[in-house]
Amino acid sequence: MTGETWDLVKSGIERDVGANNFATWIKPLQFRSLDDRTLSLASPTDFIGRWVVQNFSDIILRHVDAAGIRASRVICTAGAAPVAESAPASPVRSRTEDGLDPRFTFDSFVVGKSNELAHAAARRVGEGGPVSFNPLFLHGGVGLGKTHLMQAIAWQLRERDPGCRVLFLSAEQFMYRFVQALREQSTMSFKEMFRSVDVLLVDDVQFIAGKESTQEEFFHTFNALVDNGKQVVISADRSPSDISDVQERITSRLHSGLVVDLHPADYELRLGILMHRYEQCREEAPDFILADGVIEFLAGRINTSIRVLESVMTRLFHYWGLVRREIRVEQLPDVLGDLLRASERKLTIDEIMKKVCDHYSLRMSDMTSARRSRSVARPRQMAMYLAKKLTPRSYPEIGRKFGGKDHTTVLYAVRKIEELIQSDPQLAEDAQLLQRRLES
C-alpha cells in the first residue's frame, strides 16, 4: 500500500462517514506503513488518533479491504508512539480470496414476498446457460440481500461448472483496479482480464456515479461482455434512472435487461429470517433458548434492514453465552436497547409530503394550499392517506399539518384514496411505490 492508495481509500470512506466526520477525523490522517496486516496511520493529535481507532476502524478496514489490501488492525500514532490500536477484525471477514462469502448461498437465503422476484431472477442466472435478460439489475435499500444474491449466483455457477469464469467485485474495487492499471500502464491486461470472464457481477454500482473515466471503462467492459453473450449482473442502492451523475447511455443500457427491486422485508420474511438464524445458532449451541414470543416481538419491531435482524440474533446469542438462561421478551429492551431504538425512527408528515411532491412534480406549498384542481388535490389526498397509514398522527393533527384543514377533509381524503386504490390501477401503483420508498 502507498500514500496514493490511502488517498483513494480515504475518498471511499468520505462517502460512508459524511463530509463533516471526514474533514474532522479522516482527512488529517497520513499513511505511515502496512506491516503484518497492521495499517499504521499518523494522526495530528492523540485525541484524534484514539477517536479514529475507537469509532472508525471498521469502516477504514472495510475500505482498505475493498481496495484489495489485506489488513486486520489499525494503529494511529501521533509523534513516534502509538496512541491507539484497534482489536483485530473479527472473523466476519471469512471471505475467500476472490471476495466471496461462503455464507451467501441460495440455501441460506430466505424467500418472501418482498424478494421473490429478485430471488427467481438470480436463480435463473445461477442455473447457467442462455438467459433471456442481460444485464440483471438488482436494486433496493441498505441490507436487503443484494450482495447475498449476487454471491449466491457466483457460488451456484461455480458449483455447476467449475470451469465457468465468474468474477464478483464491488464497483469500488473495479475503480481501484482500473486506477492501478492506469498507474502501472497495464490497461491492456486489465481490459483483457475483464473481457475474458463468462459472468461478471458488480456490486454497488452507484459508487461510480460522477467518476468519469471509471464510468467510461465500465461502460466499455459492460458492452463488450453483453455483446459477446456473456452475462452481467449489477446491483445498486437505487434504480438505474435514480442514479445521478451517470451518463445517459449507461443508464439506458442498464435498463435494457431485467431491473428488479428488492423491497423492505415484510413481517413474515423478517420472522422467517429470524427463525433461520435462530436455528443456526441452536445448531451451534442447542441450549440457546429464546422464550415464546421473542422472535415474533423482534419481527414486529425491527423493520429496518435484514442486517440489523442478524445483529439482533448475534447479540442475543452472545448475551446468552454470558448468562446461560432462556431469554424473555421483558429482557429485550436491556439487551438490545440501541438496536430497538434505531428501529423506532418514525416517519414525519413533512417527509411524506416531500416524497409525494417529488413524485408528482409539485411544490411543498401545494400540500398546504386550498387549490382544488385535481392535479394538486389528488396528490394532496394521497399524502394525507399515507400520513394516516404510516404515522400514528390523528385526523385533526394531519389536517393541521396540511395548512389547517378540517379533520373531515382528511377523513374524506383517506376514504377516497382507499376507494380509488380498488378501481384505479395507476393510482394503486403510485400508492404502493410511495409507501415502499417511504418505508425503505
The answer to whether 409 is annotated as binding is: no
Asked whether residue 147 is marked as a ligand-binding residue, the answer is: yes
Kindly state the DSSP code that residue 67 receives in the 8-state scheme.
Answer: T
Residue 369 C-beta: closest distance to ligand ATP, Å: 38
**Cβ-based neighbour number of residue 100 at 10 Å:** 19
CB of 118 to ligand ATP, least distance (A): 9
CB of residue 287 vs ligand ATP: minimum separation in angstroms? 24
The minimum distance between CB 141 and ligand ATP, in angstroms, equals 7
- The residue of the chain with the least Cβ separation from ligand ATP equals 145
Amino acid at 203: D
Contact 200, 230 (CB under 8 A): yes
Q: Rounded to 5 degrees, what angle do the CA atoms 57, 58, 62 make?
A: 115
Note the residues at the interface with ligand ATP (CB under 6 A).
Answer: 104, 108-110, 115, 140, 142-148, 237, 273, 306-307, 310
CA distance 281 to 259: 35
Of 91 and 404, CB closest to ligand ATP: 91
Total residues found in the chain within this entry: 440
Minimum CB distance to ligand ATP, residue 124 (Å)? 17
| CB of residue 113 to ligand ATP, shortest distance in Å | 11
Residue recorded with cell 442478524: 310
Give the integer Cα–Cα distance in Å for 362 and 372. Answer: 14
- Grid cell of 323 as nine digits: 448468562
Give counts: helices (H), strands (E), the chain.
Answer: 19, 9
DSSP reduced 3-state for 421: helix
Which residues, 6+ apart, have CB-to-CB distance to 378 below 8 Å? 427
Residue 12 labeled ligand binder: no
Give the span between the Cα atoms of 91 and 268, in whole angstroms. Answer: 30
CA 191 to CA 337: how far, in whole Å? 49
Q: Residue 34 or 122: which CB sits closer to ligand ATP? A: 122
Q: What's the min distance (Å) between Cβ of 240 and ligand ATP?
A: 16
| Residue placing its CB nearer to ligand ATP in the complex, 307 or 371 | 307
Residue 440 DSSP label = -
Q: Sign (positive/negative) of CA torsion 200, 63, 259, 209?
A: negative
Judging by beta carbons within 10 Å of its beta carbon (0-12, 13-18, 19+), is residue 359 exposed, middle or buried? middle
User: Is the CB of 66 or the CB of 336 nearer to ligand ATP?
Assistant: 66
When the beta carbons of 143 and 240 are compared against ligand ATP, the nearer one is: 143
| Residue 226: CA count within 13 A, CB half-sphere | 21
3-state DSSP assignment of residue 130? coil
Residue 18 exposed, middle or buried by CB count within 10 Å (0-12, 13-18, 19+): exposed
- Smallest gap from Cβ 164 to ligand ATP, in A, equals 22
CA 137 to CA 118: how far, in whole Å? 9
**Shortest CB 230 distance to ligand ATP, Å:** 23
Secondary structure of residue 153 in the 3-state scheme? helix
Smaller CB distance to ligand ATP: residue 14 or 237?
Answer: 237
Query: Closer CB to ligand ATP, residue 19 or residue 142?
Result: 142
Q: Closer CB to ligand ATP, residue 397 or residue 439?
A: 439
99 in a labelled binding site: no
Provide DSSP, 210-238.
Answer: T-HHHHHHHHHHHHHHHHTT-EEEEEESS
- Which is closer to ligand ATP, CB of 66 or CB of 362? 66
Binding residue ranges: 143, 145-147
Binding residues for ATP, as ranges, are 143, 145-147
